[in-house]
Structures are given as structure tokens and as C-alpha cells.
Chain A
Amino acid sequence: MTRHKTPLLDELEKGNWPSFVSDMKQEAEAREKTDVDLQTPKECVEDLLGLLELTYVDKVVHWKHGGIVGVFGYGGGVIGRYCDQPEEFPGVRDFHTMRVNQPSSKFYSSEYLRQICELWERRGSGLTNMHGSTGDIILLGTTTPQLEEVFWELTHNLDQDLGGSGSNLRTPSCCIGKARCEFACYDTQAICTAFTMEYQDELHRPAFPYKFKFKFDGCPNGCVAAIARADMSIIGTWRDDIRIDQEAVKAYVGGEIKPNGGAHSGRDWGGFDIQKEVIDLCPTECMSWDGKKLGIYNKECNRCMHCINVMPRALRIGEDTGASILFGAKAPILEGAQMSTLTVPFMKIEEPYEELKDLVEKVWDYWSEEGKNRERLGELIQREGFQKFLEVCELDADPRMIQEPRSNPYIFWKEEDVPGGWDRDINEYRKKHQK
């Protein structure tokens, strides 16, 4: 570490939380010492530290705007990046990002990750993001000539493809699901992989008005944030009864089992009070406790998960499981933040997922036809109305889709809504009604 002094960044080596600066420094040192035949500038990590130090002084970023690079035949997966001080920091002159499509719910073998490390040490900066916001493994920083080399090695040696960027289908992501969660209402990992494979063309070749995200949450707890972050949110639910183990309920009440899986053990909240902590907090007031037996009037339950979260050993999700399908979430740019709107209250989610794929394709056809450049699906639905969206999806209106009925009476009636249509004769009218 001799190329650049980094007194400001050194302040970020203090404190208990893992220091990314310390980690970068250890990588810089490893590059200095390595006998690997590095295909990228040896000093790139040191220069990145130097560039970041300069940014900490200037408080304005030192990366140029964009940069159009990629691998042949793909319109996404690579983000071009050029430093605006290349003379001082030649190691990061061109420093492009590659997005690598993560496996469903991010389990790995050390064997696989070591292959990624070996590739990226030699042909990249040795720096990554585990993971990017959408879920991909981010390989952070390489030179233009290395892009094709990395892609070749990924596809040939690691059996691994890139993820999405730009106006593509973005890399789908899912929660941990049935792999290690008792709340999973469908197999999020399986469908996430199946959809990623089905829509490879959409993922790699930009043909949409803007980005499109699928996110698969196994239950209404929403660990992968589908309702806030996905144009199409698939959120697990069930339509029969919550399964109750009355003995286990008594064990919770008797203090034998820690409520909420022990999640509140850092503070003394007093003994578990089922009335106060479960019955009274139920948003639909559909539960009762008479001192011996827990009652749930399932017809009125809206499956918020609270009681199940509090007493996971006593209560289980129902057995007739599937998912609710919602559309249109996005961050604020441009028309303001939106969450997804409930469109299909319940659908079974089973291979080969034909019903869901049909719906996806109807929605894509509509959005591709009607969406403006850089208009997210949620904005299009706002612009043209939810009624139009239902028509596109070939769905009937259902009170479950709304928070409340409209309060203004300005209904856009269609001609076919009125018996006999809209054709009238003003002369006939005048026969009965004088001017």
C-alpha cells in the first residue's frame, strides 16, 4: 500500500463492524504478492482506494457517466464504468461491472465460489459485491478486453450465465423458501429458477420499455421485499385453515416455549400474555382464547402471519397453499414510489406454472405495446387505469383488489355497458322536450 495515502479511509478501519477498507487493503496486498498471471492492472485495488480517498476529499464522485460496453449478443449484464482521473489512477481507467446470475436463495458450495474467486482474481479486480441489490453476484471492476474472456470462462468452465441490466427482465430473486423455512407456501426456489430459465431471452436482450422484476416471496412476511420492489410480486398464501396444535398453544401460555421463536429475548418483556400479544393484535379480531382453547375464525383471517410468527410451534400455515399475484411496485423515480397492487388473490403455484406464464405474457404484451420509453409497468397501470389492466389480464373485478371503492362517481362507462348503446336521435328527443 504505497501508491496512495488514504488518511480519511483509514478512519473507516476503526470500530467493530467489518471494514470494507481493511478488506480492500488485504486484497491490494494479495495482488502485490501473488504469482497469478494477472490479466488486469496489478494496482487496480490500490488505485480504487486512492480514487475513493480523493472522493472523500472532494465529496463528488469520480466516475464518468455510463459507458456502453457488453458482451456480444447480450444487451445487459455488464455495466460500463470509466474513472474521470485516469492519469492519476490508471489501474481503474476502465473498471466495468459484470452481473452474475445468483442461484436461487444464494446457497453456495465452496468449490463453486473458489472458481469464481480464481476467475475474478485473474481477470478482474478481485473485488465483488455479495450481492447486488437485485440479487446478482456483482463482479466489480475489469477492463474492456477482459469482458469477453470472463464471459467465456463463466459459460464454458463454470456453467454460469450473466444476470440482467437495462431495459431487460432483471435477474429474478426469491426468499429462502422451503429450503429452510416453515412458512413457505410454495417452492420459491424452484419457480425462481424455472422462470429465469424460461425467460433467458428477455433477461439478456433488452426489448422492454424499461426494467422488469419478478420477486418470489414464500409468505406474507415478505423477506425478499416483492411487494415493494417487483413489477410482478408472487407472494405465498393459503386459503384453508391455520393448523393449530392446542397442546403447543398451552405450552406457550404456560411459558414452556419462548414466544416468537425467542426473537425478543434481549429485553424483559414480562411473561407471555396470549390475550395481549396475539388475540388483541389480530388485525381482523378473528381469534379467541378461553383459557384452554385457541379459536380462529379462519373465514375472517387475512393471513397477516402475526399469530404464526409468535407461536410457530403451535400454529402452521394451511395446507391448500399457493400465491397472491400483485403487479406494479417500483422506487420513486419518476412518478413516486408504488407498491404492487393485488391482481390475482389466489393461484396454485405448481410446475409447469402454465397459468402464471400465461399471465406474464399477457402483461408483457400489453406493456410492450402501450408503455412509453422508461415507463415501469406500475406507472402504465396508473396512467391507463386498473380496469384496463384487468381487461388485459382477462380477469373479473373483485373487491379484494381494492382498499375501498372509488369516492368520486366519474365512471368511464363503455358503450356496451348501456343497453342499446350510445346512439340516440336528437330529433326524437326534441319531440318530447322543447328547446
Chain B
Amino acid sequence: MGYDPSDPLKDRITDIGPKDYKEFLPNVIKENYGKWLYHEILEPGVLMHVSETGGKVYTVRVGGCRLMSVTHIREICEIADKHCDGYMRFTTRNNVEFMVDDEAKLKPLMEDLEGREFSAGSKKFPRGGTGAGLTNIVHTQGWIHCHTPAIDASGVVKCVMDELFDDYQDMRFPAQVRISLACCLNMCGAVHCSDIAILGIHRMPPMLDHENLDNMCEIPLAIAACPTGAIKPAKVDGKKSVAVKNERCMFCGNCYTMCPSMPLADEVGSGVALLVGGKISNRISEPKFSKVVVPFIPNEPPRWPSTVDAIKKILNAYVDDAKKYERIGDWAERIGWERFFDKTGLPFSEHLIDDYRFAYTTWRQSTQFKF
């Protein structure tokens, strides 16, 4: 009994949706659903939530890789069976949470998690990611499985998290810091409102595969895909194709998304841009976009040292200078962006001045600047 390729529609089941979340709630969650009174972070990576029934749930948060094997998931299941009645949860930022209903169960769980390492020595379940510290980096697919990336994702994340490992396990920052990575401008993981965004960008216009373009692409769609109108129909050696006005190209890659015969990615041309100061929360200040502060860093596999270094510079300046509760963007706005570049030591260049749709709103129309 199973799928029958000769009769694909036989007994077909569709449109049944996801599993009901209620099946997966541990008892202590079920009993206190909607009754939570307050919470406390007992130590980095350990939360206690207290309910009006007197019930308590203790959560241990550990970091994980977005890319995860079934062997590793089975290990998570084994831990959940041993300590948590067979339940666990994943956060939106690729962390894993193990929950217990009794403080006495906490220590054995934490010790068990702490002792587990991959064969080459990295931690399988580092505890942390809470409060005014660094939590896990959300990211996109990168070189492992995407077709339009300018940079890798998992590898860059690994290098940044290795360097900032202590801050994942600490809460010494003025406020929480959310780092996100998108491996191209499509941003399938939208990073445009992150404290620090690592973004893959291109610097070379598309190459044109005239030989195959008309067969592989809908030319009108490729032309319509360009936000600056840089693509025009053209005939090359008698074949229908397109021409690109290179000086109009803003390297967004939207043409390649529509037309496989216009690849942009390049060993030298593609790399990393860094954006900072975005946030999603409405806390104190309004949500805001991240701003580009490093226009380009070359791809440096396997350890991306320049990217890691620039992020450390930003974080060090922030930690030294920001007030309690200030997010990176709040801090930069208070001290002024000219001061941000002073304090971080990042160079400013004309690439960082907006010249797209809403550019004027980001230029300074006042004499209120700092020397």
C-alpha cells in the first residue's frame, strides 16, 4: 500500500493543512495556556514562566543550525524523551527549546545538553540566546541549496557565531541584538529590519547568453523585471535576445530570477554588504529599517574574516557606548550617523548615500550635524 505511479490520483488526499498544534503541547503548557502571569530569565538560556494557577514551566534554549540532519533531529527527540515527556519546540530564530515542569528536572537536562559535542569538537546544544545578548542568526539557504545567492549563508553564520559565541551565552549588551543574513537581494529571509544584516550583493551586470536566451526566457518578462528599465530587446547574430544598459544596472538580480540566461554571480563581483540599526519591536522607538554601512566585502571562504571583523567593530562600539535599553539603531540615531562611523571606525563612502526611490528623505536638510 502506497503511492501508485500508474494511478496517481487514486486515494489522493489534499488540502489537509498542518498538524493541529494542540497535539504537540506539553501538559504544563496545555494546563496554563493563556494563564501566564510573568517570566524571568534565570540565567542565559534558561527561562521560567509562572502561571496564575501556580504552574511553572522552565525552558532551556539552545542554539541550532538551520541546516539539520535527521540524525541530529533524532538526538533532539531522544533528549526530549529523556527529560521533557517527549516534547520540544523550535523558535523563529533556529533555536531549540526544551521545557520541564519542575525546577529539579532542570539541572540534569542542562548537564545532558552541555556534554554533547560533534566529533570535531563543536557544541551540539550551546545554551543561551536570551535577554540583552545575541541570539541565533536567522538566515537563508546560501550556496548549499539556493540558485541566486551572492554569498554563502550557513558558513558565514557559523564564522560569525563562533566569534560571538560568548555573547550568545551572556547578557551584557545594552539591549538584544538580532543578526540576520540573506544571501541575495531577494531576501527570502527578510533582513531589512535587523540590528545587523549580512546581505549578499552583486556588482557586475548580468552576462547575456545570447545563444540560448530566447529559448530559456520570456523576453518581455525579462525586460519588465528591470526596475530601472535597463533591459531592451535586441537581435544578436540574427537571434532574439536582450541588451542591457550597464550604467543603469543596480545589480538587484531580478532579471536573473525571471531569465536563467542572465547570470550575475561572480567570484570577484559578488560579496557581502552590511546593514545596521533596524528593529521590528515597537518598544520605545518605532520599528525601523536597517541602513547600509559597509557597501562591500569580498567573499572570503571558508572563514569570512573581514565580515566577522566588521561586525565585531560595530558590536564593540555599541556595547561600549550605548545606554541601557538602546538598540543599535536607537544608539546610532542618538549619537548621529557621523558619530557612528567615528566610533565604529568604518569608512564612509558615496556608496552609502541613497540614490533610489526615496533617496531625498535620507539626505540631511538641516545644519544640525556634529564635527
> A: which residues have CB within 8 A of B?
8-27, 30, 45, 48, 52, 55-56, 58-66, 72-74, 81, 95, 97, 101-114, 116-117, 120-121, 126-135, 140-141, 145, 148-149, 151-153, 155-156, 158-161, 171, 173, 175-176, 178-182, 184, 187, 189, 193, 196-197, 200-201, 204, 220-225, 227-229, 258, 260-267, 269, 277, 281, 283, 303-306, 309-310, 312-313, 316, 329-337, 339, 373-374
Q: Is there an interface contact between B24 and A130, defined as CB atoms closer than 8 Å?
A: no
Instruction: Among A27, A129, A181, A283, point to the contact of B36 (Cβ < 8 A).
Output: A181
A26 and B118 contact, Cβ closer than 8 Å, known pairs A131-B66, A306-B284: yes
Q: Is there an interface contact between A221 and B254, defined as CB atoms closer than 8 Å?
A: no
A101 and B185 contact, Cβ closer than 8 Å, known pairs A222-B281, A225-B193, A331-B192: no
A73 to B16, CA, bound (A): 14
| B109 on the A face (CB < 8 A) | no
Interface positions of B from 64 to 92, Cβ below 8 Å from A: 64-74, 76-78, 80-81, 86-92
| B282 on the A face (CB < 8 A) | yes
Q: Is there an interface contact between B18 and A73, defined as CB atoms closer than 8 Å?
A: no
Interface positions of B from 249 to 269, Cβ below 8 Å from A: 252, 254, 256, 260, 263, 265-267
A residues within 8 A CB of B121?
A: 13-14
A208 to B262, CA, bound (A): 26
Q: Is there an interface contact between B71 and A27, defined as CB atoms closer than 8 Å?
A: yes
A residues within 8 A CB of B285?
A: 283
Q: Is there an interface contact between B170 and A266, defined as CB atoms closer than 8 Å?
A: yes
Instruction: Show 6 residue pairs from A and B whose CB-CB distance is below 8 angstroms, ordered by the A residue.
Output: A11-B302, A101-B18, A158-B19, A182-B49, A265-B41, A373-B221
- Beyond the given A58-B267, A59-B270, could you list 10 further A-B residue pairs with CB under 8 A, ordered by the A residue number? A13-B122, A20-B154, A61-B147, A121-B70, A132-B66, A133-B188, A281-B325, A312-B39, A333-B187, A339-B193
Q: Mark B134-167, 1 if CB is under 8 A from A, else 0.
A: 0000101101111111001011001101100100
Least CB distance from B45 to A in Å reads: 12
Q: Is there an interface contact between B252 and A18, defined as CB atoms closer than 8 Å?
A: no
> B: which residues have CB within 8 A of A?
2-3, 5, 8-9, 11-21, 23-26, 29, 33-34, 36-44, 49, 57, 59, 63-74, 76-78, 80-81, 86-92, 94, 96, 99, 118-126, 130-133, 138, 140-141, 143-149, 152, 154-155, 158-159, 161-162, 165, 168, 170-173, 176, 182, 185-193, 221, 224-225, 227, 252, 254, 256, 260, 263, 265-267, 270, 278, 280-285, 287, 289, 299, 301-303, 324-325, 356-358
Least CB distance from A121 to B in Å reads: 5
